[in-house]
């Protein structure tokens, strides 16, 4: 009996020992080691760098696509107006403000030559001398007479503005009165034209200055010149012409376009028997408010966004020529004419602290 009991204890002890051994094996931590040689390490490092660069590039492309999509689909992004304009004009030093840009800074800031009056491309000047605009407007029965009446009414009201500015630029007495200026808006529309003082309804914002020339493919800053009456060449063929403000222009080239809720409108005025485009306030425009111009007037104005698409595909024509003001005969005379005086007191005053 004693011997049998001992065997039973031994069996139970052996089973317990086996169970403990199994548990120890089950929960025993396993150490895994890797042997990485220098070549493998370099390859892994290059892989990590490649993944990082690819991710950053993808992120940048995504942001660009979003911005481009916004630029194509969003007609306008407005800037919040300050609740107190007076206080906003007199911020403490160190506060963020927008710099006002005037025409004497155009070449430095935008690579745009200031034009204080429309300029005629010599290549089409002889055709303009035979334009006979006023006579053809009144006697061509195929022209919409309601459009003619509208143009004649605008001419009767605003032609004196063109006459005065031409005279002042011609004799060197023209003064930039600071009624408008250019400043940064945002990354989508970039720059815009703003009121430097209160502008009443019906007041002229300015004459759209640029080069009256043959119409090219890049029409982003161009207004149609042969409005209602076609300009003809020596063979009687129609010549597509425009007032191009891309390389030579004034504040009005920066006015952003809007098809609704605009506060300015382009009008055609006859002077010296050719067309001039003026921007006129449709309503009261308060100081520091942006001037927004209607894009399409009776279907005749060249679309800004179509021009952008044309330019995108590389069809823009590059042209260089000597330019002359309307009515002048020598390039050096024109250079003398554009040496205008400014009544702004100093550079610091010119950069008004304004939104």
For residues 305-322, give the mean pLDDT.
38
Residue 43: per-residue pLDDT: 85
* Fold for the domain defined by 97-350: Beta-clip-like (2.170.270)
Kind of pairing, strands 222-224 and 231-232? unpaired
Residue 257 is inside which H or E element, if any? strand 256-257
Which percentage of the chain shows pLDDT scores above 70? 63
DSSP state of 254: G
Domain ranges of the chain: 97-350
Q: Which two tokens stand for residue 124?
A: 């089409």
Beta-carbon count within 10 A of 321 CB = 10
Residue 27: per-residue pLDDT: 53
For residues 106-128, give the mean pLDDT.
94
Separation CA 354–CA 99 (nearest Å): 7
Strand runs labelled E in 10-132: 113-114, 119-120
For residues 263-273, give the mean pLDDT.
95
Least confident span in 137-141, 218-222, 247-251, 331-335: 331-335
Residue 340: per-residue pLDDT: 37
Predicted confidence (pLDDT) per residue in 60-109, tens digit = 776 656 555 544 444 443 444 444 343 334 444 545 568 899 999 999 99
Whether residue 176 contacts residue 238, with contact meaning beta carbons closer than 8 Å, is answered with no
For residues 290-317, give the mean pLDDT.
50
Residue 174: per-residue pLDDT: 94
């Amino acid at each position: 009996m004693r011997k049998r009991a001992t065997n039973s204890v031994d069996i139970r002890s052996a089973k317990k020992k086996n169970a403990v051994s199994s548990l120890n094996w089950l929960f025993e931590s396993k150490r895994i080691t890797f042997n990485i040689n220098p070549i493998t390490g370099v390859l892994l490092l290059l892989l990590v760098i490649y993944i990082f660069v690819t991710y950053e590039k993808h992120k940048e492309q995504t942001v660009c696509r979003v911005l481009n999509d916004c630029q194509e689909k969003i007609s306008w992004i407005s800037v919040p107006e300050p609740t107190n304009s007076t206080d906003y004009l007199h911020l403490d030093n160190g506060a963020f403000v927008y710099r006002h840009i005037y025409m004497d800074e155009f070449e430095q800031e935008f690579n745009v030559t200031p034009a204080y009056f429309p300029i005629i491309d010599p290549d089409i000047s002889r055709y303009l001398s035979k334009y006979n605009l006023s006579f053809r407007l009144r006697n061509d029965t195929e022209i919409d007479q309601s459009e003619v009446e509208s143009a004649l009414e605008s001419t009767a009201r605003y032609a004196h503005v063109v006459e005065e500015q031409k005279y002042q630029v011609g004799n060197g007495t023209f003064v930039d009165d600071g009624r408008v200026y250019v400043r940064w808006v945002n990354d989508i529309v970039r720059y815009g034209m703003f009121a430097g003082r209160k502008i009443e309804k019906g007041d002229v914002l300015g004459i759209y200055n640029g080069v009256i020339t043959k119409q090219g493919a890049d029409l982003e800053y161009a207004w149609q010149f042969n409005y209602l009456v076609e300009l003809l060449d020596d063979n009687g063929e129609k010549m597509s012409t425009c007032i191009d403000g891309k390389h030579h222009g004034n504040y009005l080239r920066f006015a952003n376009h809007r098809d609704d809720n605009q506060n300015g409108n382009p009008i055609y005025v006859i002077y010296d028997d050719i067309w001039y485009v003026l921007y006129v306030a449709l309503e009261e425009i308060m100081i520091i408010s942006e001037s927004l111009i209607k894009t399409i007037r009776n279907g005749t104005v060249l679309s800004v966004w179509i021009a952008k698409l044309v330019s995108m595909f590389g069809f823009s024509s590059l042209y260089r020529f000597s330019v002359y003001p309307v009515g002048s005969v020598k390039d050096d005379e024109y250079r003398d004419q554009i040496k205008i005086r400014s009544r702004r007191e100093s550079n610091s005053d010119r950069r008004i602290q304004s939104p």
